[in-house]
Structure 1
Amino acid sequence: MKRAGDLAILVVDDDEDLREIIAFEFTRAGCKVLLAATAAEALAHAKSVKIDAIVSDFLMPTADGTGNENGLALINQIQALGASSPTRDPVVILLTGFGDLLPPDAYSTGTTAVFAKPVDRKALLAYVLEKLGAGSAD
């Protein structure tokens, strides 16, 4: 069984408060947490660190504020890195303010779950640890 302390979790959301709340829960469990406000920041993390799980907003503004970024596109970009990245087959959870309404191809990208906002952070933590076969950090 893996220990939570051995896991790296990437939290991607344009809402800083939500990122911090989710990060707090995972950090308290002993996980290493990486934060990103944009898909570009998330991609940079995925290129340099082995990420075990990605918790990403489904829809967020672009870094320049001129449009929207799609969480599915981010996951596809990370998967396309292939052998050039230490991140391989992470557990993927999408967060959405639109209930569980996602495009049909959402699960074909490797998404394992969708959590509606406001997120039950304890349920999110429990889900990720279970999917990764992890116990507590102790």
Structure 2
Amino acid sequence: MPEAGTSGGDAPPRGEKPRILVVDDEPDVLDVIRALLVEAGFDVTAYSSATEALQRAKVRRFDAIVLDLYMPEMSGLLFHAKLKVLNPKLAARTLFVSGYVSKEEVRQYLTTNARFLQKPFDSSELVQAVGELVSGG
């Protein structure tokens, strides 16, 4: 099945592991999230560069995204805004993660546009949230 031009927001094909894109500029956090999701049975692609991750999301089907809110190269909010233009279905399946949420406009964006997990989070919370995104719940 060709990956370019796929919808990215539809459920994974039967028998295929759900594909999750993880984007976080902190290597240790990236490794932990990747390991937890792989252990839970997901096919995980991880990037510390938001720009590279966005390019990859253009050509590969993903079923959900775990996205750090604050990154130096491109904020999670800007990444999400760009993704909404490229692939609205996938953008709707975004889980933001962050150690803090400081501005009121960020809080408002998160309550209206996506799910959010506060770092540090429990591994079961992460796996459950990603599973719900993949299943459309």
> Under TM normalisation by the shorter chain, which class is it?
0.7 to 0.9
Cα 1:99–1:81 shift into 2, 3 Å: closer
**How far is 1:126 from its partner?**
1.2
**How far is 1:41 from its partner?**
1.4
What is the letter of the counterpart of residue 108 of structure 2?
P
Q: CA RMSD in A?
A: 2.7
Once the two structures are aligned, what percentage of the paired residues are identical?
28
The one of 65, 86, 109 equivalent to 1:105 is 109
Normalised by the length of structure 2, the TM-score is 0.76
Runs of 4+ residues deviating >4 angstroms: 1-5
Equivalent pairs, count: 123
Secondary structure at the aligned position of 2:25 is classed as coil
- Please, which moves more after superposition, 98-107 or 5-14? 98-107
**How far is 1:4 from its partner?**
8.7
Normalised by the length of structure 1, the TM-score is 0.75
1:18 paired to 2:9: no
**How far is 1:51 from its partner?**
1.1
What is the letter of the counterpart of residue 45 of structure 2?
L
Q: 1:28-53 deviations in whole A, cap 9, x for unaligned?
A: 12211011112101101101111111
Given that 1:4 and 1:129 are in contact with CA atoms closer than 8 Å, whether structure 2 keeps it comes out as no
Residue of structure 1 equivalent to 2:118: 116
Unaligned runs of at least 5 residues, structure 2: 1-10
Residue of structure 2 equivalent to 1:8: 19
Unaligned runs of at least 5 residues, structure 1: 63-68
1:94 paired to 2:105: no
1:27 paired to 2:38: yes
